[in-house]
Amino acid sequence: MSNATVPLSRADLEAFWLPFTSNRQFKLKPRLLAKAKGMYYWTPEGRQILDAVAGLWCVNAGHGRAEITQAVAQQLETLDYAPPFQLGHPPAFALANALVKIAPAGLDHVFFTNSGSESVDTALKIALAWHRVRGEGTRTRLIGRERAYHGVGFGGISVGGITPNRKTWSASLLPGVDHLSHTHDLARNAFSRGAPEHGAHLADELERLVALHDASNIAAVIVEPIAGSTGVLIPPRGYLKRLREICSRHGILLIFDEVITGFGRTGAPFAAQEFDVMPDIITLAKGLTNGCIPMGAVLVSKAIYEAFMQGPEGIELFHGYTYSAHPAACAAGLATLGVYEREGLLTRAKTLAPQWEEAAHALRGLPHVIDVRNYGLILGLELEPLAGKPGNRAFEVYLKCFERGVLIRQSGDIIALSPPLIVQPSQIDQIFSTLSEVLRGQ
Ligand SMILES: Cc1ncc(COP(=O)(O)O)c(C=O)c1O
């Protein structure tokens, strides 16, 4: 009998320390998932839940894809593990080549990791090491942005801009990090459809930091093209282009953290293509393996890779993980990219975006809704916080939607939606009608 159907007692729940979760609250009234297929999860009691968030922005091709499962099983039977240092295996090269094919032109080398957090730390380390191998070792400062989420490694929380993430470890953050202002401006941009009008000038803060520190001390700027975890912050029109121009003018590397925007979420394979802005480095994870095996990747430009390939032969980058390019993850990645290509999923969000946008903006005017914002198959819905209880209102909405069979995501008083890219129009209707009913009852 599958463990998934055995009810868990309070004692059974004790040992597992759930991440980013209110453990005491959860263990009093746990929400469990037992099974998944296509657009749906099922609870152990057999209740069907429509997945409006692709798990956690990662199951872009929908759950339980047989092609991926079989590829992973076959790979584990053939070659379960191969050390990635000083050895290689064919699927690793195949996946790197397949990724380069869909990546923005010019990003043609791939370093594999196991998560988004590791991708971010890897990208920051590559940026610092790159300046050093080129003889510009004074470029050590990193620039992130307020309200950014770049995972939970020390690098990621240092350039990230989430207060609780930074508060606890404030004395241990990387030195030499500055933050650009976030671009969230409800007063001027509320209820924007697609990229908001106001805020491109916020990129000019980078010029201010250059004037303060001198470009010769700045290594890289990292931003999420669309910030997801802090509540779907869509870049103002022209903002990313302006950042690119300033970085190029001063020899600063531009890193796009595409852990959530990668693999079709915006309507193009990557946000860099969608916004027509070419970064020097892209960090990836999540949709790379459709969420079924942990894996991340860092795409870098030829100029970056080539700079490391000069000088005496030897290990060019002292960095890597035991599970970099794990055979099972590579097999999952290859099968996932195959599904994306065959089913046109990397651009399908573009086709569905008009319906998505209409349904999203129909929520305007419902109780406590202070903003609706959307891009591709992404929604950010911001609610007026309950006095003295920030986050409680949206959490209530999250719980009620779950009771009514739709899984959404809540961050503070913002609700984020990002369904699998296989979502059907009728399922979009169901997501929004459920959300609307719940909001009306608030
Ligand atoms: C933009 C971004 N970067 C990095 C991460 C961290 O990824 P992981 O949780 O796989 O470490 C996330 C996770 O949501 C993310 O959204």
Distance 283 CA to ligand 1 centre (A): 9
Phi, psi of 438, rounded to the nearest 5 degrees: -65, -40
Distance 414 CA to ligand 1 centre (A): 18
- Mean pLDDT within 337-366: 98
> How many angstroms separate the CA atoms of 258 and 278, rounded?
12
Place of tokens 């202070």: 370
Domain spans of the chain?
Answer: 3-60+344-440, 66-343
Q: Ligand 1 in contact with 231 (CB < 6 A)?
A: no
The whole-number pLDDT of residue 6 equals: 62
Question: pLDDT tens digits for 374-394?
Answer: 999 999 999 999 999 999 999
Angle, nearest 10°, between helix axes 239-250 and 205-213? 20
- Mean pLDDT within 199-218: 98
The whole-number pLDDT of residue 4 equals: 55
Residue 351 confidence (pLDDT) above 80? yes
- Mean pLDDT within 433-442: 95
Options 3.90.1150.10, 3.40.50.150, 1.10.10.10, 3.40.50.1260; CATH for 3-60+344-440 is: 3.90.1150.10
Instruction: Tell me the pLDDT band of 2, cut-offs 50, 70 and 90.
Output: very low
Q: What average pLDDT does the chain have?
A: 97
Instruction: Answer for the pair 142, 124: CB distance below 8 angstroms, yes or no.
Output: yes
Token digits of residue 398: 């999250």
The whole-number pLDDT of residue 157 equals: 97
- Mean pLDDT within 330-351: 98
Distance 231 CA to ligand 1 centre (A): 13
Residue closest by Cα to atom 8 of ligand 1: 116
Domain 66-343 is found in CATH 3.40.50.720 = no
Instruction: Tell me the pLDDT band of 166, cut-offs 50, 70 and 90.
Output: confident
Q: Ligand 1 in contact with 149 (CB < 6 A)?
A: yes
Q: Ligand 1 in contact with 285 (CB < 6 A)?
A: yes
> To test ligand 1's pocket by mutation, which of 53, 113, 117, 119 has the most ligand atoms within 8 angstroms of CB?
117
Residue 202 confidence (pLDDT) above 50? yes
Token digits of residue 204: 């000019």
CA–CA distance from 78 to each of 13, 47, 308, 336 (Å)?
Answer: 36, 37, 33, 19
At residue 438, what is the residue type?
V
Distance 366 CA to ligand 1 centre (A): 31
- Sort 416 into a burial class: Cβ within 10 Å, 0-12 / 13-18 / 19+: buried
- Mean pLDDT within 261-269: 98
> How many angstroms separate the CA atoms of 155 and 259, rounded?
15
The whole-number pLDDT of residue 61 equals: 98
Instruction: Answer for the pair 301, 108: CB distance below 8 angstroms, yes or no.
Output: yes
DSSP secondary structure letter of residue 269: S
Nearest residue to 106 via CA among 317, 218, 264, 273: 273
Question: pLDDT tens digits for 274-298?
Answer: 999 999 999 999 999 999 999 999 9
Q: Ligand 1 in contact with 298 (CB < 6 A)?
A: no
Percent of the chain with pLDDT over 90: 96
Ligand 1 closest atom vs CA 151: 6
Sequence-distant (≥ 6) Cβ neighbours of residue 101 within 8 angstroms? none
Q: What is the DSSP string of 194-223?
A: SS-SS-GGGGGHHHHHHHHH-GGGEEEEEE
Phi, psi of 146, rounded to the nearest 5 degrees: -60, 150
Which strand (E) or helix (H) includes residue 275? Answer: none
CA–CA distance from 65 to each of 180, 329, 335 (Å)?
Answer: 40, 15, 9
Distance 261 CA to ligand 1 centre (A): 11
Question: pLDDT tens digits for 44-61?
Answer: 999 999 999 999 999 999
Ligand 1 closest atom vs CA 294: 10
Phi, psi of 12, rounded to the nearest 5 degrees: -65, -30
The whole-number pLDDT of residue 370 equals: 98
Instruction: Tell me the pLDDT band of 3, cut-offs 50, 70 and 90.
Output: low
Distance 158 CA to ligand 1 centre (A): 14
Place of tokens 């949206």: 394
> How many angstroms separate the CA atoms of 176 and 244, rounded?
21
**Beta-carbon neighbour count of residue 199 at 10 Å?**
22
Instruction: Tell me the pLDDT band of 27, cut-offs 50, 70 and 90.
Output: very high
**Beta-carbon neighbour count of residue 172 at 10 Å?**
9
How many residues are there in the chain? 442
Residue 29 confidence (pLDDT) above 80? yes
> How many angstroms separate the CA atoms of 312 and 38, rounded?
51
Distance 117 CA to ligand 1 centre (A): 6
